[in-house]
Amino acid sequence: MKVVIQRVSQSSVTIDSKIVAEIQKGLLILVGIEDSDGQEDIDWLVGKITKIRVFDDENHVMNLSVEDIDGDIIVVSQFTLHASTKKGNRPSYIKAAKPDIAIPLYEKFVKSIEFVLAKKVQTGVFGADMKVSLLNDGPVTILIDSKNRE
């Protein structure tokens, strides 16, 4: 699994001109799932995401996690994170998991974050044409690949 974590002052997801998710201070997480991903990837990433210290403390040092600040989270599925651009100019998405594999893992990922934070996580709609808006705070943007955990 690959995730892009963005520290935001606000973020929302709109589908067909209707806002389906909206948060203030917290994290926007774009998640890409591949066929080889499983529960170990979810568990490791959720631990990282909920504990990663990207929010400022009273000394303006990034020393607090989303959990520490009681921040909100939006999770959006994004298969394009697994784009291969090695050949030609048209990205290949061969590594991205098909919906029958990706949807259950995506749902487990969201539920796992909710369990750890003991709060509702906002989401986009898997496979939908979404308009994602954000006010990146910092900017702070971090890419994490669960296959690079060692």
Is residue 80 part of the annotated active site? The answer reads: yes
Single out the catalytic residue among 6, 79, 122, 123: 79
The rounded distance, in Å, linking the Cα atoms of 146 and 40 is 9
Single out the catalytic residue among 24, 39, 80, 115: 80
Single out the catalytic residue among 78, 109, 122, 123: 78
Is residue 6 part of the annotated active site? The answer reads: no
Is residue 115 part of the annotated active site? The answer reads: no
Catalytic residues: 78-80
